[in-house]
Structure 1
Amino acid sequence: MERLAVNLPGLTLRNPLMPASGTFGFGDAFGAEQVNFNQLGAFVMKTTTPTATTGNPQPQVAKLVDGVMNSVGLTNPGVEAVATQKIPAFKKAHPYLPLIASVGGDTVADYRMVAQRLAQTGLVDALEINVSCPNVATGGMAFGVDPHQVELVTQTVKQVSGQVPVYVKLTPNVTSIVEIAQAAEAGGADGLSLINTVLGLHLDIQTRKPVLGNGMGGFSGPAIKPLAVRMVYQVAQATKLPIIGMGGIETAADVIEFMMAGADAVAIGAGHFKDLNICGHIAVDLPPLMDRLGIGSLNDLRR
């Protein structure tokens, strides 16, 4: 539907909705077969690292009343398997759906290698650089809290990404997310994704132990939405980069709120625990809500 369409660097979206990285793995995770991916604006794959990794100790996910805790880690089969098997299989099944590949690593050289290999497939429409994962011991958020490292990683990835746009995913676990966003912009980023999960801890008072096998983990869901909206707003005021906003989105009203704050598109993660087809359902709910609010097109809300 034209009034829901959004254009971002490298991405022509039929609507602004996409699953957050990791939600459906590489399009083959549990529940993926129950989802009509053609209702999405784009698909974001799980983060890829240079070599295969099995992630963190079980349990990796815990549902709370107001959100979800996870410490899955960057479980994936490694960049060669993703480049030669996962991405081609996904594009064969969904040739017209914009595809965003997520890049991770422990070192700047890791990010460079993974980004270059994924871009070379010629099958991805954008790269999302994950410098914000709170669930890994090295890399990830260690880069995302340091503006100098964020600029360096972004710059390095841009050198090898060719024509593929680069979006940098920001962590909320910082003193100033604006400073980190500006560092990504200085490094040449084409866009930003924010926010990743909030580092948290939940203890089971019966066992006296953390509910996650890794102890601390990322917290997501509706409880973090005001934090996410605030950060999107701050970043939108301070940079010129397009923003994919995320953090607690569950309704069409949430999408409108994020876009009013400065997001150009949105991603949903924890909401899929309540409704596997949440993106498609929100896409249906958006036009009547826009009618009630007097919004002709989502582009009317964009900066």
Structure 2
Amino acid sequence: MAKINDTQIIEFILQGFSDDLNFQSGLFGIFLLIYTITLIGNMMIIATVTLELQLQSPMYLFLRSLSLTEIVYISVTVPRILKDILSKNRAISFIGCAAQLYFFCFLGTTECFTLAFMAYDRYVAICHSLRYTTIITNKKCIDLLVGSWLAGMLLSLGQISYVFSLPYCKSGIIDHFFCDILPVVRLACADTFANEIAILIYSSLVIPLPFLLILVSYIHIIVTVLKIPSAVGRKKAFSTCGSHLTSVSLFYGSATLTYLRTKSTDTYGGKMWSLL
């Protein structure tokens, strides 16, 4: 383990999965397949929304931004995981770990807020359909997307700067597949209580608050849709929310299990959830 003056760590070791070659080969195939499908699917969405003139409404601008965020988000961790599965050298530099963790948090936060704004878009489209084009304009959509990216950038910058200002002089072995915030903090050779409180506050801002906006939006949507007399009309209204609800369930479900948990509930399964 490389250190400065035998005290300050300058690189970490990612513990990874298992040293069993058969197990590693199977995992490599699974992760490569998932990564490839995710890339192709999101690139197809971006290309379709960009090229089709009929898909230039604000809703599809949100969708295109979400797909772009997802491509970069998954690319922050999965290529490194694939490399580590095939390699015995799982060392990652201090700066490299900080950069990976920053972009992971930055893009994850951006996706949280984007999903919340997409829920607001569906709320206006269904509950105030006659005024939709005047409330949700392309300019307002772009402003909300820029706000999502800026919020992710600034909130994550403060959090990661605080984490990597800690002294690290323990084993340097990160009990994870990538540089995730809780496993990194627990390697610090200092009192991390304040950092863990900061992480909890950060997680509370990023996960529950946007989710609350999504929940409130869908309560109004459900109430409005149930008032539609036609079964066909109700089905059509709900169908416009299907893909968004799926994304919300996957993203917020895994994020909640990963970051809003106590030390006693940290398990191998928690690591797997953080990759979703």
What is the TM-score when the length of structure 1 is the normalising length? 0.22
What is the TM-score when the length of structure 2 is the normalising length? 0.23
Q: Which has the higher helix share?
A: 2
Larger Rg: 2
Q: Which has the higher strand share?
A: 1
